[in-house]
Structure 1
Amino acid sequence: MTDPKPSSKPLTKDDFTEVTKPFALFGEWLVDATASEINDPNALALATVDPDGLPNVRMVLLKGFDERGFVFYTNFESAKGQELLSAGKAAMCFHWKSLRRQVRIRGTVVKVSDDEADEYYQSRPRGSRIGAWASKQSRPLENRFALEKEVARYTAKFAVGEIPRPEHWSGFRLVPTQMEFWHDRPFRLHDRVVFRRNADGEDWTRDRLYP
């Protein structure tokens, strides 16, 4: 069985000449993924590093992006949250199998504003808001019943009215200094285009890479 052909137009030399705005290109690819991926087109692998220098990676969901960066949410007291707060840097990888495309992003991370976190938190299903209170994310759990007991406790506590956002639950924005776009091509002669800048607000440089 031969490899399936890419389902969308790859970046040709001429296309590359015209691509100057990585955020705009990411937006176009995300729209394509939303139409073609079966589940979670906004899913990404998030890489961090612990205090001993050992890397960690896990899947999270992108909850927003613009030219300020890429936003996701978590418990600040979790392993992920602690590593992000400590190192202040992270990397992301989006892989859209249906499109045979990948985007790799690296940069610094900053906390989103309280207003931004509050707005997103209140948009979540009520059960998810309860879960943010009930889960001591990344810490040892005696058994499933212990978690369910915490869910029941906070469900009763917030039975009426709005559920406030826990202080330990908020969002991060990854501010990219590097964005690489990859597209499958036959015989592994893939397209790779990388945009780089030294800091937020600076102009991007652009290079094509060997596959």
Structure 2
Amino acid sequence: MDLRHIRQDYTNQSLNEEDCSKNPLEQFQQWMSAAIHAKVNEPTAMNLATIGEDNRPNSRIVLLKEITAEGLVFFSNYHSRKGRSLAYHPFGALTFFWPELERQVRIEGKIEQLNSTDSDEYFRSRPYTSRIGAWASQQSEVIPSKAELMKRATKFAAKYLLNVPRPPHWGGYLLTPDRFEFWQGRPSRLHDRIQYTLQNNQWIKQRLAP
């Protein structure tokens, strides 16, 4: 398989510093709205990279669930591999890629557990089966078979016929950003890259070489 000649020239749009908001969270919300409006596939899917207890990076795709004035929110099992990584090293990096718009966003910052009230509120909004799944799945642990997982799901469905409380090991995370990069694909690999860095509580906006 020869992958060397697979390439695409990006020509749809450009990105200029003067067109970007002073606040990167506002700029991100604009791009997210554009991605949703364009009906890109899984617009809220993001790659989350963390550093594990072995000091090696690991990453996975998770879903963004909220944008607040403080940062970006996602949910997970606190005992999962990502949860253990974040307990060990509470920093992470997010990457959104929307190929239909020829855009990418990278966001870095500190990640902390969301407060229990907000985690409870979101958990109640999930479908019943997803709430049962949060109890049934010992996320990232080795299991003997799929049958064992289904057995646990049946067990918790019988236990919580109507009201499913949030498991104590499951909840939200908030990434408080200190760096953003907005990438717009351009012809000849001369891409537009606008970076925001937080310095002395102020956002500094700069252009990066592609």
TM-score range, shorter chain: over 0.9
Unaligned runs of 5+ in 2: 1-5
| Counterpart AA for 1:49 | I
Amino acid at match of 2:16: T
Matched residue, 2:38: 36
**Cα distance in 1, alignment partners of residues 190 and 7 from structure 2:** 16
In the superposition, the TM-score normalised over structure 2's length comes to: 0.93
Match of 1:210 in 2: 209
Aligned partners of 2:19, 2:175: CA distance in 1, in Å? 27
Which stretches of structure 1, 4 residues or more, deviate above 6 A after TM superposition? none
Kindly report which structure 2 residues correspond to 1:55-94, keeping only aligned pairs within 5 A, or say none: 55-94=57-96
User: Quick one: which of 129, 135, 138 aligns to 1:136?
Assistant: 138
CA shift for structure 1 position 42: 0.2
Secondary structure of 1:52 counterpart: coil
Q: Percent identity over the alignment?
A: 39
In structure 2, which of residues 115, 129, 143 is the aligned counterpart of residue 127 of structure 1?
129
Residues 197 and 13 from structure 1, CA distance in 2 versus in 1: closer, same or farther, beyond 3 angstroms?
A: closer
Amino acid corresponding to residue 197 of structure 2 in structure 1: R
Report the Cα distance in structure 1 between the residues aligned to 2:106 and 2:65, rounded to whole angstroms: 17
Q: 1:79 & 1:12 partners in 2: Cα distance?
A: 39
Closer, same or farther: CA 167–185 of 1 in aligned 2, 3 Å: same
- Asked whether 1:169 is paired with 2:173, we answer no
Question: How far off is 1:198 after superposition?
Answer: 4.4
Structure 1 partner of 2:198: 197
**What is the letter of the counterpart of residue 64 of structure 1?**
E
Q: How many residues align?
A: 205
Offset at 1:66? Answer: 1.9
Maintained 8 Å contact 1:64/1:70: yes
SS at match of 2:142: coil
Helix, strand or coil for the counterpart of 1:197? strand
Structure 1: any 5+ residue segments left out of the alignment? Answer: none
Counterpart of 2:32, as a letter, is L
Change (3 A) 1:142 1:188: same
Contact map agreement 1:194 1:206 (CA 8 A) in 2: yes
Task: Give distance in 2, aligned partners of 1:198 and 1:12.
Answer: 21
Cα deviations by residue, 1:159-183 (Å, 9 ceiling, x for unpaired): 1x31000000011100011000000
The alpha-carbon distance between structure 1 residues 166 and 11, as it changes in their structure 2 partners (threshold 3 A), is same
CA RMSD of superposed structures (Å): 1.6
Pair 1:49–1:20, CA change in 2 (3 A): same
Cα distance in 2 for partners of 1:75, 1:97 equals 29
1:138-189, CA deviations, whole angstroms, 9 ceiling, x for partnerless residues?
0001001000000000010011x31000000011100011000000011111
Q: 1:42-98: per-residue Cα shift (whole Å, max 9, x none)?
A: 000000011121000000000001220110000000111111122110000000010
* Conservation of the 8 A alpha-carbon contact between 1:6 and 1:99: no
Deviation at 1:35, TM superposition (A): 2.0
Greater relative CO (CA pairs within 8 A, separation 6+) = 2
Aligned ranges 1:144-159 → 2 under 5 Å: 144-159=146-161
Code of the aligned partner of 1:116:
D
Instruction: Indicate how the Cα distance of structure 1 residues 167 and 148 shifts in structure 2: closer, same or farther if over 3 A, else same.
Output: same
